[in-house]
Amino acid sequence: MNIHELTVEALYDKIQSKEIKPSEVVGALFDRIEASDETIGSFLFLNKEEALKQAQTLDQLQEEDKMDGPLFGIPMGIKDNICTKDILTTCASRMLEDFKPVYDATVMEKLNDSNAILMGKQNMDEFAMGSSTENSYFKNVRNPWDTNAVPGGSSGGSAAAVAAGYVPFSLGSDTGGSVRQPAAFCGVVGMKPTYGRVSRYGLVAFASSLDQIGPITRNVRDNAKILELISGTHNKDATSVPDLATDFLKNIDKDLTGMKIALPKEFIGEGISEEVEASVKKAAETFRSLGATVEEVSIPHTKYVVSAYYLIASSEASSNLARFDGIRYGYKAEGAETLEEHYKKTRAEGFGPEVKRRILLGTFVLSAGHYDQHYIRAQKLRGVIEKEMKELFSEYDLILGPTAPTPAFNIGEKSEDQLEMYKDDLLTIPANLTGMPALSIPSGLSASGRPIGLQLIGDHFEEQKIYNAAFKFEEQFNLHEELKQLKLEVR
């Protein structure tokens, strides 16, 4: 049995039927990780001792027919900016190199209660700032499809681990596309839920009005299942929304006849590669063949979203990261003679170049004389974009488009041109600025054999509708067999 090829649902069924033990699943996946993740670089920390101990405990419960929990014995990976009690949570930064939280994030509490098993913490762009996972303090992540390519970012480690078969699911965070873009580059499924559906308590903040935790899986059903389990409010998170329906698997196989899908012309315009454009147009035909109506529309202010996003996100990052001063926790520079010098040395040595760049931009935007000119205007534009998309949803069920303008690019290809890197977020940013849910699913392979991602955006709290359309599309096209056949370099 190739355990690494199995989905969450398939693994769960085999454990429930006692065909396989949790310890056998965990052992097999650790063997795979240790054989090839030196090349991929998806994990920063392996929780091997505790995971094996937990798996053995679950083995005993399995023998006693006490297999409680919707993820009983299922291994998982968690992005390293999600707090895990007494387990390293570094945000891939020197600043938090030795940080062990004293509490679990809300999503971790829910997953622990479901009897899932934490395999380890996954690599990322430092403090979730990046689109390629080349900004990690510790090491780069490579794309399992082609190790010369980036896996996307900032949740590159989470997406790469699922694609490589190290874990059947992982959690990432999405501030401007950081779950969906790496999911697209790695040929897997990634969801950014509606803002507030999943509690952010315990997620190390980058941009508080944009951040959301979301699942990355190998197929749509697994993704819906994981989102059901991590959704919900927390009394210490005022932005989380209580009492929402979360039965995303209900009617997931519903016929698409009568569904109306909008295809914004801006999403397949300038900057979109020919291969990606062709893949999206082919997907539109697939949806038509499934009974949906797909019509071209316009979201005129889309061309401004990158500018608005980086002004708002950098401003919030400047505020959120002010707490890392070398006094309360985190990296502490040596040799400073005054408090001010201590602050300067700690932050200069503890943060990487991309984090410093965004802190500086955000501080400038929030400064006197620039706040009204930049920050307020960006927030007004955010409102305009939400209004345009809301108007579309009064007539259409979903918005369709590519997840990223191109397939995965080569490592180092854009590292010297940050503006070019920022443009890669053009298609994912609208869902973050508006707080709307969006899902990336595979829709093709480029001539070079790298995956192409398709994005479905829904109105607020319409995740079930997205999953329905994505599931029906997945029945027509998926990369399941190709994922199984990925040949990882073994050392």
Q: Which residues are registered as beta bridge partners of 79? A: 122
Measured CA to CA, the distance from residue 235 to residue 109 in angstroms comes to: 14
Angle between the 220-230 and 463-476 helix axes, to the nearest 10 degrees? 160
Q: Which residues are registered as beta bridge partners of 226? A: none
**Given the structure tokens 């519903």, which residue do they identify?**
254
Measured CA to CA, the distance from residue 28 to residue 134 in angstroms comes to: 29
Name which of 362, 374, 33 is nearest 207 in CA terms.
362
430 and 299 in contact (C-beta within 8 Å)?
yes
Name which of 463, 460, 443 is nearest 452 in CA terms.
443
Cα 348 to Cα 233, 339, 352, 418, 430: the distances in Å are 37, 14, 8, 20, 32
Cα 379 to Cα 179, 268, 383, 384: the distances in Å are 23, 25, 6, 9
Measured CA to CA, the distance from residue 158 to residue 172 in angstroms comes to: 6
H-helix segments, 290-338: 305-320
**Given the structure tokens 């400064």, which residue do they identify?**
367
Name which of 185, 171, 176, 173 is nearest 141 in CA terms.
185
Burial (CB count <10 Å: 0-12, 13-18, 19+), residue 150:
buried
Q: Which residues are catalytic?
A: 79, 154, 178
Name which of 483, 488, 464 is nearest 224 in CA terms.
464
Q: Which residues of 47-66 are buried (b: 16+ CB within 10 A; e: fewer)?
A: beeebbebbeebbebbeeee
Do β-strands 260-264 and 189-192 pair in parallel, antiparallel, or remain unpaired? Answer: unpaired
Long-range Cβ contacts of 83-89 (<8 Å, 24+ apart): 83/108, 83/202, 83/203, 83/204, 84/108, 84/118, 84/121, 87/45, 87/47, 87/50, 87/118, 87/121, 88/44, 88/45, 88/121, 89/121, 89/204
Helix (H) or strand (E) holding 278: helix 274-289
3 state SS of 241: coil
